[in-house]
Amino acid sequence: MPKLSEGYKRADGGLGIRNEVLVIYLVECAHHVARRIVEESGKGNSQLIGFPGCFPNEYALKIMKGLTTHPNTAGALLVSLGCEAFNREELAKTIEASGRPVETLVIQENGGTLETIRRGKEAVARLRETADKTAKAPMNISDLVVGTICGGSDGTSGISANPAVGRCFDELVKQGSACIFEETGELIGCEQIMKERAVTPELGDQIVSSVNKAADYYTVLGYGSFAPGNAEGGLTTLEEKSIGAYSKSGDSPISGLIKPGDIPPTGGLYLMDVIPDGEVRFGFPNISDNAEIVEMIASGAHLILFTTGRGSVVGSAISPVIKVCANPETYAKLSHDMDVNAGRILLGEADIDEVGQEIFDHVDAVASGRPSVSEELGHQEFILTYKSFEPIGPSCLPTR
């Protein structure tokens, strides 16, 4: 039976499974200072995230708003150089309106590197003190938002780890959780199957359109979401990779289509469209797996299920990452970076249902406070780049 019983209660009504203080650089020029603040504040007192660009971008602002008001976030320190175009005032107002404490330091106004680091450490100490006073409140499995992504896929991913995550998703949805799978660029060829699972015909049409958009986007780029490591691992076509990636979604009806930063309104299964809208302007839409992890966290994901066949060691800031290894040979090499060995399915030591239950148990345990392996190892990878999206329409969330 699920053991999850309480979470960190936020003033805006959110319930978190972690209690993080964020130090945020608002341009690459402030990255070093922000990193030093985190390092000198001591292990576990704060986490570093940021946006490197100097030019404004509504997508980046929306994602940052989602991250700083995420249920796992307790407070934030904004570190600005001073002349970048990021709207630090609007971000600070959004954080403040959520009931979280926020402080801002501007390097050009606060005496440069050393003085800003000094003031930053003092700010983190204040924020941490407030965070540590956060009250707990009852929390159920139905309060969770869980995302999934595959990285370093190979020929084993679609027959072990991915379908096992799908079984876990089915159980989470059954118990009222919101589950997010992605990405449309790795689901090319599966659009008609997903359309049939949509809760309304209109949503089904939106899903097909989103996958077609991804196919057009990659055609312009001349390069699809298929890496050399995928081929070396035994995958032969993008469609073959798509079928394996699709299996992470399980068998539940698809309740909605969201874009990065959109919050699922209810429990259910949601597809995230991570391909930018409009003309191709910002290069590859998924510069790394962590870019998509960040987008799911900005959409409220308390934790992420990360499947891998070739092997991946990344984690994330803000929300824990649970690693599910598809390949038993990879697990033998990287066992200290993995949470679940789904390769046992290939060895006949377990079936998909059993590993799916094991993944569900890990979700329960990590949501209840147990560190995932990547957390224990100190992984807090983060990346945020430029994109552009149009708002979703009412047919994308018919259950709203």
CA–CA separation, 220 and 239 (whole Å): 18
pLDDT in tens, 184-197: 888 988 999 999 99
Burial of 37-46, coded b for 16+ CB within 10 Å and e otherwise, reads bbeebeeebb
Domains, in order of start, for the chain: 20-133 (3.40.50.2300), 141-396 (no CATH)
Find the length of the chain.
Answer: 400
Over residues 233-253, the mean pLDDT reads: 75
In angstroms, rounded to a whole number, what is the distance separating the alpha carbons of residues 245 and 183? 9
- Residue 333 vs residues 156, 310, 344: alpha-carbon distances, Å: 15, 10, 14
pLDDT band at 227 (very low <50, low <70, confident <90, very high): low
The interaxial angle of helices 88-97 and 58-68, nearest 10 deg, is 30
Asked if residue 1 has pLDDT above 50, the reply is no
Report the alpha-carbon distance of residue 16 to residue 12 in Å, rounded.
11
The residue-averaged pLDDT of 303-327 equals 96
Predicted pLDDT of residue 238: 61
Distance (Å, whole) CA 341 – CA 319: 21
**Which comes out higher in pLDDT, residue 184 or 81?**
81
> What does the pLDDT look like over 206-215, one tens digit per residue?
999 999 999 9
Q: Which H, E and C letters describe the chain, residue by residue?
A: CCCCCEEEECCCCCEECCCEEEEEECCHHHHHHHHHHHHHHCCCCCEEEECCCCCCCHHHHHHHHHHHCCCCEEEEEEEECCCCCCCHHHHHHHHHHCCCCEEEEECCCCCHHHHHHHHHHHHHHHHHHHHCCCCEEECCHHHCEEEEEECCCCCCHHHCHHHHHHHHHHHHHHCCCEEEECCHHHCCCCHHHHHHHECCHHHHHHHHHHHHHHHHHHHHHCCCCCCHHHHHCCCCCHHHHHHHHHHHHCCCCEEEEECCCCCCCCCEEEEECCCCCCCCCCCCCCCCHHHHHHHHHHCCCCEEEEEECCCCCCCCCCCCEEEEECCHHHHHHHHHHCCEEHHHHCCCCCCHHHHHHHHHHHHHHHHCCCCCHHHHCCCCCCCCCCCCCCCCCHHHCCCC
End-to-end CA distance of the chain: 29
Contact between 275 and 183 (Cβ < 8 Å): yes
Beta bridge partners of 50: 25
Q: What is the CA radius of gyration of the chain?
A: 20
As a whole number of angstroms, the distance between CA 129 and CA 109 comes to 26
For residue 298, pLDDT beyond 60: yes
Q: If you search the block for the tokens 């707990």, which residue do you land on?
A: 136
Percentage of the chain lying above the pLDDT 70 cut: 94
Mean pLDDT, residues 6-28 taken together: 98
Q: Residue 115's pLDDT is what?
A: 98
Tokens 């370093």 found at: 152
For the whole model, what pTM was predicted?
0.95
Specify which residues 15 forms β-bridges with.
9
Q: Which amino acid is at 244?
A: G
Torsions phi, psi for 106 (to 5 deg)? -115, 110
User: 136-138 and 6-9 as β-strands: parallel, antiparallel, unpaired?
Assistant: antiparallel
Q: Can you tell me the mean pLDDT for 345-370?
A: 97
Give the span between the Cα atoms of 90 and 170, in whole angstroms: 38
pLDDT score of 154? 81
